[in-house]
Amino acid sequence: MALFVDGLAAGVDDLTNQDSGLLDVAQTCGINVTTKIALAHDEISADLQLWLDRPRTSLDMVWRPALHIGQVVITPALRRWETMQALALFYRDAYFSQLADRYQAKWDEYSKVTRTAYEKYMASGMGLVNNPVPQAPAPVLGSVAGPQQGGTFYACISWLNAAGGEGAASVTSSIDVADSSLMTVGTPPVPANVTGFNVYAGPSLNAMVLQNDVALPPGASFTYVPGFVTQGQLPGHGQAPEFTRPLVRMLLRG
């Protein structure tokens, strides 16, 4: 599971899985679906921050350190809340664009479903990690001389903390490598709590697997040898929650 601060919890596919006609409405009304998801994400971020900033008892402050939004993990309940929030915002804009009753009906319906999703997130609690590892930026690819046939190769990386917690894999980069050369995989600057990284590489987007047996040190360059490792762990989506914070009821937006 990715961290909430890594990016949007929901995607366009999450919305269209709930509403198959969404993209047609978006074209008719001139609405950018991703923009609505980003707005929902921002609104939920503000709500999460309010929960995290609630006053704590003196005993609580002594025994439990303050939490921050960078520790929040995207759980299924949080993804659904963002999906429904985005749908409600989308159909609100569609209604005001066309003043069509059918869009108002969907706006009303998704607003109700958003509240249900919110209530379920409340019931499940806020999933958090102690030492959050952000999603890594795209790797820095290059090449060195080597006794291999060239081609197009793909790679992504993920950060690791001292406890072995792995952040979400980066977006994938690709490079065309000439014959008698090998792809190298390097990293941008690493966050302070990152102690190593993993490399996932392969000859296609669907064939990228973990290439290193042990964590690579920050700043190292990894040389990918095609065909040396062809099966194994696939790129991951990030850390799972390590603990849950109970939530108290707040006034929901909208």
> Which residue in the block uniquely carries the two structure tokens 């609104």?
43
In sequence order, what are the residues at sequence separation of 6 or more whose Cβ sits closer than 8 angstroms to the Cβ of residue 17?
A: none
- Given a cut of 60, is residue 252 above it in pLDDT? no
The residue type at 138 = A
- Given a cut of 50, is residue 12 above it in pLDDT? yes
In three-state secondary structure terms, 182 is: strand
What does pLDDT average to over the chain? 92
pLDDT attached to residue 62: 47
pLDDT attached to residue 96: 92
Least confident of 66-75, 93-102, 116-125, 165-174: 93-102
pLDDT digits (tens, 9 = 90+) for 209-230: 999 999 999 999 999 999 999 8
Q: Per-domain residue ranges for the chain?
A: 4-132, 140-224
- Given a cut of 60, is residue 5 above it in pLDDT? yes
* pTM attached to this predicted model: 0.87
- According to CATH, what is the number of the domain 140-224? 2.60.40
pLDDT attached to residue 60: 56
